[in-house]
Amino acid sequence: MLVSSFIKGPLIEEIKKMTINDNGEAEHAYLGFILIASSIEFLGACLDAYDWDDSGLSEKRFRLAIRELFPQNYHIYNKKGHKFDLYSNLRCSMVHSSRPGNCIGLSQKKHGCNKSLLEDEKGKRLIICFEYFFEDFIEACKLLLKKIKNKEINYQKVYQNILSVPEDKNIF
């Protein structure tokens, strides 16, 4: 499976099928937060020169994706040491312990949130609203797909297969 197909399939369509119902409402949003948090790192890996399997690049790749592909309102939370740092409080916490950091709140439209990122009144928590976060993630994916289509990325890895799916059903 080519990188562009992987982005369109598992990263966009499959996450959407799992987390957004036919009425456009979030379902299983919590799992969606985990999937998106780890998938952002993959988007960043598409933008760097390193091999897919090189280690020690999680933070660099996550921050690169936020900086290059996500809307401006995410950038303030993309700084190491910021109290609402998305890498440490969302990506690492969700990927390693399946829960956000203490200063991150996860919500949905049905709970009244009306934008992707919102600091609470006391400045103690960053609330992330799933539906808007997912929309921003999809737009980031689309921007990356456009860069791939227009050959704006100079690394051959994004024009090759990322995933092998055995065709021979007899091997199982």
Task: Tell how strand 126-129 and strand 117-119 pair up.
Answer: antiparallel
Which run of H or E residues covers position 23?
Answer: none
Rg of the chain on CA atoms, in Å: 17
pLDDT value of residue 97: 94
The tens digit of pLDDT for each residue in 17-37 reads: 999 999 888 999 999 999 999
Q: How confident is the model at residue 170 (pLDDT cuts 50, 70, 90)?
A: low
Confidence at residue 155, expressed as pLDDT on a 0 to 100 scale: 95
pLDDT at 171 over 60: no
Percent above pLDDT 70 for the chain: 95
pLDDT band at residue 123 under the 50/70/90 scheme = confident
Residue ranges per domain, the chain?
3-171
Query: In the predicted model, is pLDDT for residue 166 greater than 80?
Result: no
CA distance 123 to 121: 6
Q: What is the pLDDT of residue 68?
A: 98
pLDDT for the residue numbered 24: 87
> What is the CB-side half-sphere exposure of residue 112 using CA atoms within 13 A?
1
Please give the average per-residue pLDDT across 131-140, as a whole number: 98
pLDDT of the residue at 162: 87
Average pLDDT of the residues of the chain: 94
pLDDT of residue 167: 67
Tokens read off for 89: 């409080």
With contact defined as beta carbons under 8 Å apart, do 144 and 46 qualify? Answer: yes
At 48, the amino acid letter reads D
The predicted pLDDT at position 163 comes to: 81
CA angle 44, 161, 34 (to 5 degrees): 40
